[in-house]
Structure 1
Amino acid sequence: MLMALSLHNLTKRYGKTAGVKNVSLTLTTGVYGLLGVNGAGKTTLMRMVCILTRPTSGRITFDGQDIFTMGEAYRQQLGYLPQDFGFYPDLNVVDYLMYIASLKGLRADFAKRRTFDLLEQVGLKDSAKTRMRNLSGGMVRRVGIAQAMLNDPRILILDEPTAGLDPSERIRFRNLISELSGNRLVLLSTHIVSDVEFIANTIILMNQGQFIFTGTSEEIVASLDKRAWVFTVPQSQVGHYLEQFLVANVKTAPHGATELRVLSGYPPTPQAQETGVTLEDAFLIYFGTKAKEIQSC
Protein backbone atom coordinates (compact mmCIF):
# COMPACT_ATOMS: atom_id res chain seq x y z
CA MET A 1 0.00 0.00 0.00
CA LEU A 2 1.37 3.39 -0.99
CA MET A 3 2.09 5.66 1.95
CA ALA A 4 3.48 9.17 2.38
CA LEU A 5 5.29 10.74 5.32
CA SER A 6 5.58 14.45 4.59
CA LEU A 7 7.57 17.22 6.27
CA HIS A 8 6.02 20.65 5.71
CA ASN A 9 8.33 23.64 6.41
CA LEU A 10 9.54 21.91 9.55
CA THR A 11 11.57 23.90 12.09
CA LYS A 12 12.77 23.08 15.60
CA ARG A 13 14.40 25.78 17.73
CA TYR A 14 16.16 25.57 21.07
CA GLY A 15 16.22 29.18 22.21
CA LYS A 16 17.99 31.13 19.50
CA THR A 17 19.50 28.00 17.97
CA ALA A 18 17.68 26.12 15.22
CA GLY A 19 18.33 22.37 15.22
CA VAL A 20 16.18 21.92 12.10
CA LYS A 21 15.49 24.83 9.73
CA ASN A 22 12.42 24.94 7.50
CA VAL A 23 12.81 21.54 5.79
CA SER A 24 10.24 20.02 3.46
CA LEU A 25 10.24 16.54 1.92
CA THR A 26 7.86 13.68 1.16
CA LEU A 27 9.02 10.11 1.82
CA THR A 28 7.29 7.01 0.51
CA THR A 29 8.12 3.29 0.51
CA GLY A 30 11.86 2.60 0.32
CA VAL A 31 15.10 3.10 2.22
CA TYR A 32 16.19 6.69 2.88
CA GLY A 33 19.66 7.49 4.18
CA LEU A 34 19.92 10.71 6.22
CA LEU A 35 23.62 11.50 5.94
CA GLY A 36 25.46 14.26 7.76
CA VAL A 37 28.13 15.07 10.32
CA ASN A 38 27.41 14.97 14.04
CA GLY A 39 25.36 18.01 15.01
CA ALA A 40 23.72 18.35 11.59
CA GLY A 41 20.22 18.01 13.08
CA LYS A 42 19.57 14.36 12.22
CA THR A 43 18.54 13.20 15.69
CA THR A 44 16.35 16.26 16.24
CA LEU A 45 14.54 15.45 13.01
CA MET A 46 14.19 11.78 13.96
CA ARG A 47 12.70 12.69 17.34
CA MET A 48 10.07 14.87 15.68
CA VAL A 49 9.18 12.13 13.20
CA CYS A 50 8.81 9.76 16.18
CA ILE A 51 6.56 12.35 17.97
CA LEU A 52 9.02 12.53 20.88
CA THR A 53 9.42 16.28 20.48
CA ARG A 54 7.16 18.84 18.82
CA PRO A 55 8.32 21.15 16.04
CA THR A 56 8.53 24.88 16.72
CA SER A 57 6.76 25.45 13.43
CA GLY A 58 5.64 23.40 10.44
CA ARG A 59 3.89 20.04 10.33
CA ILE A 60 4.54 16.34 9.75
CA THR A 61 1.77 14.36 8.10
CA PHE A 62 1.27 10.65 7.49
CA ASP A 63 -1.09 9.94 4.61
CA GLY A 64 -2.36 13.50 4.94
CA GLN A 65 -3.00 13.45 8.71
CA ASP A 66 -0.98 15.37 11.29
CA ILE A 67 1.06 12.79 13.22
CA PHE A 68 0.70 14.59 16.55
CA THR A 69 -3.07 14.63 16.11
CA MET A 70 -3.03 10.93 15.18
CA GLY A 71 -1.13 10.07 18.37
CA GLU A 72 -1.46 6.37 19.19
CA ALA A 73 -2.78 5.52 15.72
CA TYR A 74 0.51 6.82 14.30
CA ARG A 75 2.65 5.08 16.94
CA GLN A 76 1.13 1.77 15.88
CA GLN A 77 2.64 2.33 12.42
CA LEU A 78 6.06 3.20 13.82
CA GLY A 79 9.19 1.26 14.80
CA TYR A 80 12.10 3.21 16.32
CA LEU A 81 15.67 2.32 17.20
CA PRO A 82 17.38 5.27 18.93
CA GLN A 83 21.15 5.58 18.97
CA ASP A 84 21.17 4.70 22.67
CA PHE A 85 18.26 2.55 23.78
CA GLY A 86 17.76 1.40 27.34
CA PHE A 87 17.37 -2.20 28.47
CA TYR A 88 17.34 -4.16 31.70
CA PRO A 89 20.71 -5.97 31.78
CA ASP A 90 19.45 -8.87 33.90
CA LEU A 91 16.60 -9.77 31.53
CA ASN A 92 17.31 -12.39 28.91
CA VAL A 93 16.63 -11.54 25.26
CA VAL A 94 13.17 -13.15 25.10
CA ASP A 95 11.99 -11.59 28.35
CA TYR A 96 13.23 -8.18 27.24
CA LEU A 97 11.38 -8.39 23.92
CA MET A 98 8.22 -9.67 25.63
CA TYR A 99 8.44 -6.72 28.04
CA ILE A 100 8.72 -4.26 25.13
CA ALA A 101 5.83 -6.01 23.39
CA SER A 102 3.66 -5.49 26.48
CA LEU A 103 4.52 -1.78 26.48
CA LYS A 104 3.41 -1.65 22.84
CA GLY A 105 0.11 -3.27 23.79
CA LEU A 106 0.66 -6.45 21.80
CA ARG A 107 -1.27 -9.61 22.75
CA ALA A 108 0.90 -12.15 24.58
CA ASP A 109 0.34 -14.99 22.11
CA PHE A 110 1.11 -12.77 19.11
CA ALA A 111 4.11 -11.21 20.90
CA LYS A 112 5.65 -14.61 21.65
CA ARG A 113 5.35 -15.82 18.05
CA ARG A 114 6.63 -12.51 16.74
CA THR A 115 9.56 -12.50 19.17
CA PHE A 116 10.85 -15.91 18.08
CA ASP A 117 10.30 -15.13 14.39
CA LEU A 118 12.34 -11.93 14.76
CA LEU A 119 15.12 -13.64 16.73
CA GLU A 120 15.43 -16.09 13.84
CA GLN A 121 15.52 -13.23 11.36
CA VAL A 122 18.17 -11.21 13.21
CA GLY A 123 20.32 -14.29 13.87
CA LEU A 124 19.82 -14.48 17.63
CA LYS A 125 17.73 -17.64 17.98
CA ASP A 126 20.53 -19.41 19.85
CA SER A 127 20.91 -16.43 22.23
CA ALA A 128 17.24 -16.23 23.22
CA LYS A 129 17.95 -17.09 26.87
CA THR A 130 21.16 -15.04 27.14
CA ARG A 131 21.04 -12.09 29.52
CA MET A 132 21.24 -8.71 27.82
CA ARG A 133 24.34 -7.81 29.85
CA ASN A 134 26.25 -10.69 28.22
CA LEU A 135 25.58 -9.73 24.60
CA SER A 136 28.17 -8.09 22.36
CA GLY A 137 27.54 -4.60 21.04
CA GLY A 138 26.46 -5.94 17.67
CA MET A 139 24.08 -8.42 19.25
CA VAL A 140 22.51 -5.66 21.36
CA ARG A 141 21.89 -3.60 18.21
CA ARG A 142 20.22 -6.63 16.61
CA VAL A 143 17.96 -6.97 19.65
CA GLY A 144 17.29 -3.26 19.21
CA ILE A 145 16.07 -3.69 15.66
CA ALA A 146 13.99 -6.70 16.75
CA GLN A 147 12.19 -4.57 19.36
CA ALA A 148 11.58 -1.90 16.72
CA MET A 149 9.99 -4.53 14.46
CA LEU A 150 7.74 -6.17 17.07
CA ASN A 151 4.60 -4.37 15.89
CA ASP A 152 5.42 -5.00 12.20
CA PRO A 153 5.68 -1.25 11.52
CA ARG A 154 5.10 0.46 8.19
CA ILE A 155 7.64 3.13 9.16
CA LEU A 156 11.04 2.11 10.58
CA ILE A 157 13.26 4.86 12.04
CA LEU A 158 16.90 3.99 12.79
CA ASP A 159 19.14 6.62 14.42
CA GLU A 160 22.86 5.87 13.92
CA PRO A 161 22.15 2.10 14.05
CA THR A 162 25.75 0.98 13.44
CA ALA A 163 27.43 3.36 15.91
CA GLY A 164 30.23 1.56 17.73
CA LEU A 165 30.04 -1.63 15.66
CA ASP A 166 33.07 -3.29 14.08
CA PRO A 167 33.17 -3.56 10.26
CA SER A 168 31.81 -7.13 10.08
CA GLU A 169 28.85 -6.32 12.36
CA ARG A 170 28.23 -3.13 10.39
CA ILE A 171 27.97 -5.12 7.15
CA ARG A 172 25.70 -7.69 8.81
CA PHE A 173 23.46 -4.92 10.14
CA ARG A 174 23.22 -3.22 6.73
CA ASN A 175 22.20 -6.51 5.13
CA LEU A 176 19.59 -7.01 7.85
CA ILE A 177 18.11 -3.55 7.27
CA SER A 178 17.91 -4.23 3.54
CA GLU A 179 16.17 -7.56 4.22
CA LEU A 180 13.67 -5.96 6.59
CA SER A 181 12.83 -2.99 4.37
CA GLY A 182 10.21 -4.85 2.29
CA ASN A 183 7.22 -2.57 1.67
CA ARG A 184 8.20 -0.25 4.50
CA LEU A 185 9.47 3.28 4.69
CA VAL A 186 12.90 3.06 6.34
CA LEU A 187 14.69 6.24 7.45
CA LEU A 188 18.26 5.63 8.61
CA SER A 189 20.46 8.41 9.95
CA THR A 190 24.25 8.11 9.98
CA HIS A 191 27.54 9.92 9.48
CA ILE A 192 29.08 6.77 7.96
CA VAL A 193 28.90 6.84 4.16
CA SER A 194 29.08 3.06 3.68
CA ASP A 195 25.97 2.60 5.85
CA VAL A 196 23.77 4.11 3.13
CA GLU A 197 25.79 3.92 -0.08
CA PHE A 198 24.51 0.50 -1.16
CA ILE A 199 21.15 0.11 0.62
CA ALA A 200 19.49 3.54 0.40
CA ASN A 201 17.22 4.26 -2.56
CA THR A 202 17.48 7.96 -1.72
CA ILE A 203 20.19 9.80 0.24
CA ILE A 204 19.41 13.07 2.03
CA LEU A 205 22.46 15.20 2.84
CA MET A 206 21.80 17.29 5.96
CA ASN A 207 23.97 20.07 7.32
CA GLN A 208 23.29 22.77 9.93
CA GLY A 209 19.64 21.76 10.17
CA GLN A 210 18.90 21.90 6.45
CA PHE A 211 18.66 19.45 3.56
CA ILE A 212 21.39 20.42 1.11
CA PHE A 213 20.90 17.67 -1.48
CA THR A 214 18.46 14.80 -1.99
CA GLY A 215 18.98 12.11 -4.60
CA THR A 216 20.59 8.79 -5.42
CA SER A 217 24.25 8.07 -4.77
CA GLU A 218 24.92 8.52 -8.48
CA GLU A 219 23.08 11.86 -8.59
CA ILE A 220 25.03 13.18 -5.61
CA VAL A 221 28.35 12.23 -7.20
CA ALA A 222 27.26 13.77 -10.53
CA SER A 223 26.45 17.06 -8.75
CA LEU A 224 30.08 17.65 -7.74
CA ASP A 225 32.16 20.39 -9.33
CA LYS A 226 35.40 18.67 -8.31
CA ARG A 227 37.24 15.61 -9.59
CA ALA A 228 39.58 13.16 -7.86
CA TRP A 229 43.31 13.16 -8.60
CA VAL A 230 46.08 10.82 -7.45
CA PHE A 231 49.78 11.74 -7.49
CA THR A 232 52.99 11.31 -5.51
CA VAL A 233 55.05 14.09 -3.91
CA PRO A 234 58.04 14.26 -1.57
CA GLN A 235 57.11 14.21 2.10
CA SER A 236 58.31 17.81 2.45
CA GLN A 237 55.57 19.06 0.07
CA VAL A 238 52.60 17.37 1.77
CA GLY A 239 51.87 20.40 3.97
CA HIS A 240 51.49 22.63 0.91
CA TYR A 241 48.80 20.41 -0.60
CA LEU A 242 47.00 20.03 2.71
CA GLU A 243 46.76 23.84 2.90
CA GLN A 244 45.82 24.47 -0.71
CA PHE A 245 43.52 21.54 -1.59
CA LEU A 246 40.89 19.22 -0.16
CA VAL A 247 42.96 16.09 0.44
CA ALA A 248 40.91 12.90 0.75
CA ASN A 249 43.76 10.46 1.45
CA VAL A 250 47.43 10.57 2.43
CA LYS A 251 49.41 7.36 1.96
CA THR A 252 53.09 6.73 2.61
CA ALA A 253 54.87 5.59 -0.54
CA PRO A 254 58.36 4.00 -0.95
CA HIS A 255 61.58 6.03 -0.78
CA GLY A 256 60.25 8.85 1.40
CA ALA A 257 57.46 9.85 -0.97
CA THR A 258 53.76 10.33 -0.18
CA GLU A 259 50.76 9.48 -2.35
CA LEU A 260 47.93 11.99 -2.19
CA ARG A 261 44.33 11.75 -3.33
CA VAL A 262 43.07 15.28 -3.90
CA LEU A 263 39.60 16.61 -4.76
CA SER A 264 39.90 19.57 -7.10
CA GLY A 265 38.34 21.14 -10.18
CA TYR A 266 41.70 21.02 -11.95
CA PRO A 267 44.88 18.87 -11.82
CA PRO A 268 46.94 19.84 -8.75
CA THR A 269 50.13 18.90 -10.64
CA PRO A 270 50.87 18.03 -14.27
CA GLN A 271 51.63 14.46 -13.11
CA ALA A 272 48.26 13.98 -11.36
CA GLN A 273 46.09 11.18 -12.73
CA GLU A 274 42.32 11.43 -12.59
CA THR A 275 40.41 8.68 -10.79
CA GLY A 276 36.73 8.05 -10.12
CA VAL A 277 34.86 10.21 -7.61
CA THR A 278 33.00 8.33 -4.85
CA LEU A 279 30.14 9.07 -2.46
CA GLU A 280 32.72 9.42 0.31
CA ASP A 281 34.39 12.14 -1.79
CA ALA A 282 31.01 13.85 -2.06
CA PHE A 283 30.67 13.70 1.73
CA LEU A 284 34.04 15.43 2.13
CA ILE A 285 33.18 18.08 -0.45
CA TYR A 286 29.75 18.88 0.96
CA PHE A 287 30.78 18.83 4.61
CA GLY A 288 34.39 19.99 4.40
CA THR A 289 36.55 20.15 7.52
CA LYS A 290 34.00 18.60 9.89
CA ALA A 291 33.70 15.63 7.58
CA LYS A 292 37.47 15.17 7.54
CA GLU A 293 37.54 15.25 11.33
CA ILE A 294 34.91 12.46 11.48
CA GLN A 295 36.67 10.36 8.84
CA SER A 296 39.86 10.46 10.94
CA CYS A 297 38.09 9.27 14.13
Structure 2
Amino acid sequence: MLTVAQLLHAAAGRLAAAGIETSRLDARLLLAEALGMQPQRLSMHPQLEPSAAEAGRFEALLERRLSRRPMSQVLGRRGFWTLELAVSADTLTPRPDTETVVEAVLAALAGDRGRPRRVLDLGTGTGCILLALLSELGFASGLGIDRSDAALAVARRNAEALGLAGRAAFQSGDWGRGLAGVFDVIVSNPPYIPDAEIDGLEPEVARFEPRLALAGGADGLDCYRALAPDIARLLAPGGVAALEVGAGQAGDVAALLGAAGLEQREIRRDLGGIDRCVVVSL
Protein backbone atom coordinates (compact mmCIF):
# COMPACT_ATOMS: atom_id res chain seq x y z
CA MET A 1 0.00 0.00 0.00
CA LEU A 2 1.12 3.56 -0.67
CA THR A 3 1.75 5.95 2.19
CA VAL A 4 0.12 9.34 2.73
CA ALA A 5 3.27 11.05 1.46
CA GLN A 6 3.36 8.92 -1.69
CA LEU A 7 -0.34 9.43 -2.39
CA LEU A 8 -0.04 13.19 -1.97
CA HIS A 9 2.98 13.42 -4.26
CA ALA A 10 1.35 11.38 -7.02
CA ALA A 11 -1.97 13.19 -6.76
CA ALA A 12 -0.39 16.64 -6.81
CA GLY A 13 1.48 15.69 -9.97
CA ARG A 14 -1.70 14.52 -11.69
CA LEU A 15 -3.59 17.66 -10.68
CA ALA A 16 -0.77 19.91 -11.88
CA ALA A 17 -0.71 18.07 -15.21
CA ALA A 18 -4.43 18.81 -15.53
CA GLY A 19 -3.69 22.52 -15.25
CA ILE A 20 -4.77 23.00 -11.64
CA GLU A 21 -2.59 25.63 -10.00
CA THR A 22 -3.55 24.67 -6.45
CA SER A 23 -2.54 21.05 -7.00
CA ARG A 24 -0.70 20.46 -3.71
CA LEU A 25 -3.40 22.09 -1.59
CA ASP A 26 -6.20 20.30 -3.40
CA ALA A 27 -4.46 16.93 -3.04
CA ARG A 28 -4.11 17.51 0.69
CA LEU A 29 -7.75 18.51 1.13
CA LEU A 30 -9.01 15.57 -0.90
CA LEU A 31 -6.92 13.01 0.95
CA ALA A 32 -7.96 14.46 4.31
CA GLU A 33 -11.58 14.17 3.22
CA ALA A 34 -11.10 10.54 2.20
CA LEU A 35 -9.41 9.72 5.50
CA GLY A 36 -11.86 11.69 7.63
CA MET A 37 -9.17 13.78 9.29
CA GLN A 38 -8.11 17.41 9.44
CA PRO A 39 -5.71 18.36 6.59
CA GLN A 40 -3.01 19.56 8.99
CA ARG A 41 -2.78 16.08 10.50
CA LEU A 42 -1.55 14.61 7.23
CA SER A 43 1.88 16.18 7.69
CA MET A 44 2.08 14.51 11.10
CA HIS A 45 1.52 11.06 9.62
CA PRO A 46 3.39 10.91 6.28
CA GLN A 47 4.07 7.16 6.63
CA LEU A 48 0.45 6.25 7.36
CA GLU A 49 -0.86 3.66 4.91
CA PRO A 50 -4.54 4.27 4.09
CA SER A 51 -6.74 1.23 3.75
CA ALA A 52 -7.93 0.04 0.36
CA ALA A 53 -11.35 1.57 1.03
CA GLU A 54 -9.79 4.92 1.97
CA ALA A 55 -7.54 4.85 -1.08
CA GLY A 56 -10.59 4.13 -3.24
CA ARG A 57 -12.48 7.08 -1.77
CA PHE A 58 -9.47 9.29 -2.42
CA GLU A 59 -9.23 8.18 -6.04
CA ALA A 60 -12.92 8.85 -6.61
CA LEU A 61 -12.58 12.39 -5.20
CA LEU A 62 -9.42 12.94 -7.19
CA GLU A 63 -11.07 11.89 -10.45
CA ARG A 64 -13.84 14.44 -9.89
CA ARG A 65 -11.30 17.20 -9.32
CA LEU A 66 -9.26 16.12 -12.35
CA SER A 67 -12.35 16.79 -14.46
CA ARG A 68 -11.94 20.42 -13.27
CA ARG A 69 -15.04 20.28 -11.11
CA PRO A 70 -14.62 22.97 -8.42
CA MET A 71 -13.34 21.84 -5.03
CA SER A 72 -16.47 23.22 -3.42
CA GLN A 73 -18.60 20.83 -5.47
CA VAL A 74 -16.25 17.90 -4.94
CA LEU A 75 -16.35 18.39 -1.16
CA GLY A 76 -19.91 19.70 -1.10
CA ARG A 77 -19.07 22.69 1.08
CA ARG A 78 -17.23 25.99 1.19
CA GLY A 79 -16.18 28.37 3.94
CA PHE A 80 -17.58 31.90 3.78
CA TRP A 81 -17.20 34.64 6.38
CA THR A 82 -17.20 32.61 9.62
CA LEU A 83 -19.59 30.00 8.26
CA GLU A 84 -19.31 26.64 6.54
CA LEU A 85 -21.93 26.35 3.81
CA ALA A 86 -23.25 23.49 1.75
CA VAL A 87 -22.63 23.97 -1.98
CA SER A 88 -24.02 22.12 -4.98
CA ALA A 89 -23.85 22.26 -8.76
CA ASP A 90 -27.02 24.37 -8.58
CA THR A 91 -25.36 27.22 -6.67
CA LEU A 92 -22.58 29.66 -7.32
CA THR A 93 -19.59 28.89 -5.11
CA PRO A 94 -19.27 31.57 -2.41
CA ARG A 95 -16.09 33.56 -2.93
CA PRO A 96 -13.95 35.79 -0.72
CA ASP A 97 -14.77 38.76 -3.00
CA THR A 98 -18.40 38.50 -1.91
CA GLU A 99 -17.43 38.98 1.72
CA THR A 100 -16.90 42.61 0.69
CA VAL A 101 -20.69 42.99 0.58
CA VAL A 102 -20.99 41.72 4.15
CA GLU A 103 -18.20 44.05 5.28
CA ALA A 104 -19.85 47.03 3.59
CA VAL A 105 -23.21 46.46 5.27
CA LEU A 106 -21.69 45.94 8.70
CA ALA A 107 -19.61 49.09 8.28
CA ALA A 108 -22.72 51.06 7.33
CA LEU A 109 -24.47 49.79 10.47
CA ALA A 110 -21.47 50.28 12.76
CA GLY A 111 -22.53 51.31 16.24
CA ASP A 112 -26.17 50.47 15.56
CA ARG A 113 -26.36 46.70 15.13
CA GLY A 114 -28.64 45.99 18.05
CA ARG A 115 -32.06 46.88 16.69
CA PRO A 116 -34.40 44.66 14.67
CA ARG A 117 -33.93 44.91 10.92
CA ARG A 118 -35.37 43.29 7.80
CA VAL A 119 -32.75 42.09 5.32
CA LEU A 120 -33.50 41.20 1.69
CA ASP A 121 -31.07 39.15 -0.39
CA LEU A 122 -31.91 39.18 -4.10
CA GLY A 123 -30.39 36.20 -5.89
CA THR A 124 -29.48 34.42 -2.66
CA GLY A 125 -27.90 31.23 -4.06
CA THR A 126 -26.43 29.35 -1.08
CA GLY A 127 -27.74 32.09 1.20
CA CYS A 128 -24.16 33.09 1.98
CA ILE A 129 -24.62 36.88 2.22
CA LEU A 130 -27.93 36.75 4.07
CA LEU A 131 -26.77 34.11 6.55
CA ALA A 132 -23.47 35.87 7.20
CA LEU A 133 -25.35 39.08 7.99
CA LEU A 134 -27.85 37.31 10.25
CA SER A 135 -24.96 35.68 12.10
CA GLU A 136 -23.65 39.17 12.90
CA LEU A 137 -26.98 40.95 13.44
CA GLY A 138 -28.65 39.05 16.22
CA PHE A 139 -31.98 40.90 16.05
CA ALA A 140 -32.33 40.89 12.26
CA SER A 141 -34.50 38.64 10.12
CA GLY A 142 -34.14 38.08 6.41
CA LEU A 143 -35.67 36.96 3.16
CA GLY A 144 -33.69 35.34 0.36
CA ILE A 145 -35.05 35.35 -3.20
CA ASP A 146 -33.85 33.15 -6.05
CA ARG A 147 -35.22 31.89 -9.36
CA SER A 148 -33.73 28.43 -8.79
CA ASP A 149 -35.72 26.09 -6.57
CA ALA A 150 -32.66 23.84 -6.29
CA ALA A 151 -30.55 26.74 -5.00
CA LEU A 152 -33.27 27.67 -2.52
CA ALA A 153 -33.20 24.12 -1.15
CA VAL A 154 -29.46 24.50 -0.50
CA ALA A 155 -30.00 27.88 1.17
CA ARG A 156 -32.68 26.45 3.46
CA ARG A 157 -30.40 23.57 4.38
CA ASN A 158 -27.63 26.01 5.25
CA ALA A 159 -29.95 28.09 7.41
CA GLU A 160 -31.03 24.98 9.29
CA ALA A 161 -27.46 23.78 9.80
CA LEU A 162 -26.38 27.17 11.15
CA GLY A 163 -29.33 27.53 13.51
CA LEU A 164 -30.66 30.53 11.59
CA ALA A 165 -33.80 29.03 10.06
CA GLY A 166 -35.98 30.83 12.57
CA ARG A 167 -34.83 34.19 11.23
CA ALA A 168 -34.30 33.35 7.55
CA ALA A 169 -37.01 32.68 4.96
CA PHE A 170 -36.46 31.79 1.32
CA GLN A 171 -38.82 31.97 -1.63
CA SER A 172 -38.80 31.73 -5.39
CA GLY A 173 -38.96 35.00 -7.26
CA ASP A 174 -37.67 37.25 -10.01
CA TRP A 175 -35.59 39.83 -8.15
CA GLY A 176 -37.99 42.08 -6.22
CA ARG A 177 -41.07 41.62 -8.36
CA GLY A 178 -44.20 41.02 -6.32
CA LEU A 179 -42.58 41.83 -2.99
CA ALA A 180 -44.35 44.26 -0.69
CA GLY A 181 -43.18 46.35 2.24
CA VAL A 182 -39.73 47.77 2.81
CA PHE A 183 -36.39 46.41 3.99
CA ASP A 184 -33.68 48.05 6.06
CA VAL A 185 -30.89 46.24 4.23
CA ILE A 186 -30.89 44.97 0.64
CA VAL A 187 -27.98 42.94 -0.73
CA SER A 188 -27.29 41.20 -4.00
CA ASN A 189 -24.55 39.42 -5.89
CA PRO A 190 -26.26 39.24 -9.29
CA PRO A 191 -24.88 37.65 -12.46
CA TYR A 192 -22.50 40.20 -13.99
CA ILE A 193 -20.29 38.39 -16.50
CA PRO A 194 -20.91 39.42 -20.12
CA ASP A 195 -22.42 36.43 -21.90
CA ALA A 196 -19.70 36.22 -24.55
CA GLU A 197 -16.96 35.95 -21.91
CA ILE A 198 -18.28 32.99 -19.94
CA ASP A 199 -16.92 30.21 -22.16
CA GLY A 200 -13.43 31.73 -21.87
CA LEU A 201 -13.38 31.50 -18.08
CA GLU A 202 -11.53 28.77 -16.19
CA PRO A 203 -13.20 25.37 -16.64
CA GLU A 204 -14.30 25.25 -13.00
CA VAL A 205 -16.56 28.21 -13.71
CA ALA A 206 -17.47 27.87 -17.39
CA ARG A 207 -18.30 24.15 -17.28
CA PHE A 208 -19.56 23.53 -13.79
CA GLU A 209 -21.13 26.63 -12.23
CA PRO A 210 -24.77 27.41 -13.09
CA ARG A 211 -24.94 29.79 -16.04
CA LEU A 212 -28.04 31.36 -14.51
CA ALA A 213 -25.79 32.68 -11.74
CA LEU A 214 -23.12 33.95 -14.14
CA ALA A 215 -24.67 35.46 -17.27
CA GLY A 216 -25.26 39.21 -17.04
CA GLY A 217 -26.30 39.90 -20.63
CA ALA A 218 -24.32 41.45 -23.46
CA ASP A 219 -22.56 44.00 -21.26
CA GLY A 220 -22.90 42.27 -17.90
CA LEU A 221 -25.31 44.90 -16.58
CA ASP A 222 -28.74 43.48 -17.38
CA CYS A 223 -29.43 42.33 -13.83
CA TYR A 224 -28.53 45.72 -12.37
CA ARG A 225 -30.99 47.36 -14.74
CA ALA A 226 -33.69 45.06 -13.38
CA LEU A 227 -32.59 45.46 -9.77
CA ALA A 228 -32.34 49.25 -9.62
CA PRO A 229 -36.09 50.07 -9.61
CA ASP A 230 -36.84 47.17 -7.27
CA ILE A 231 -34.25 48.38 -4.76
CA ALA A 232 -35.53 51.96 -4.97
CA ARG A 233 -39.05 50.71 -4.25
CA LEU A 234 -38.19 48.25 -1.48
CA LEU A 235 -35.46 50.05 0.46
CA ALA A 236 -36.64 51.72 3.65
CA PRO A 237 -35.79 55.40 4.26
CA GLY A 238 -32.41 55.44 5.97
CA GLY A 239 -31.74 51.89 4.80
CA VAL A 240 -28.67 50.64 2.95
CA ALA A 241 -28.23 48.51 -0.17
CA ALA A 242 -24.98 46.84 -1.16
CA LEU A 243 -24.38 45.13 -4.51
CA GLU A 244 -21.40 43.15 -5.69
CA VAL A 245 -20.07 44.21 -9.10
CA GLY A 246 -17.53 42.91 -11.57
CA ALA A 247 -14.17 44.52 -12.23
CA GLY A 248 -14.65 47.84 -14.00
CA GLN A 249 -18.44 47.91 -13.47
CA ALA A 250 -18.74 50.01 -10.32
CA GLY A 251 -19.19 53.34 -12.09
CA ASP A 252 -21.85 52.03 -14.47
CA VAL A 253 -23.75 50.28 -11.69
CA ALA A 254 -23.62 53.36 -9.47
CA ALA A 255 -25.03 55.40 -12.36
CA LEU A 256 -27.90 52.93 -12.89
CA LEU A 257 -28.77 53.03 -9.21
CA GLY A 258 -28.50 56.80 -9.15
CA ALA A 259 -30.90 57.09 -12.07
CA ALA A 260 -33.42 55.12 -9.99
CA GLY A 261 -33.18 57.70 -7.21
CA LEU A 262 -30.62 56.02 -4.98
CA GLU A 263 -27.70 57.93 -3.48
CA GLN A 264 -24.19 56.51 -3.60
CA ARG A 265 -22.60 56.09 -0.17
CA GLU A 266 -19.47 54.13 -0.97
CA ILE A 267 -17.64 52.03 -3.51
CA ARG A 268 -15.76 49.43 -1.49
CA ARG A 269 -12.73 47.54 -2.75
CA ASP A 270 -12.04 43.86 -2.21
CA LEU A 271 -8.78 42.47 -0.85
CA GLY A 272 -7.31 42.58 -4.35
CA GLY A 273 -7.91 46.32 -4.60
CA ILE A 274 -10.75 45.97 -7.13
CA ASP A 275 -13.89 48.08 -6.78
CA ARG A 276 -16.22 45.25 -5.76
CA CYS A 277 -19.25 46.64 -3.94
CA VAL A 278 -21.50 49.62 -4.61
CA VAL A 279 -23.29 50.89 -1.51
CA VAL A 280 -26.35 53.15 -1.83
CA SER A 281 -29.21 54.54 0.25
CA LEU A 282 -32.36 56.56 -0.26
What is the TM-score of this pair, normalised by structure 2? 0.29
Which structure: greater helix fraction? 2
Q: Which has the higher contact order (CA 8 A, sep 6+)?
A: 1
Of structures 1 and 2, the larger Rg is shown by 1
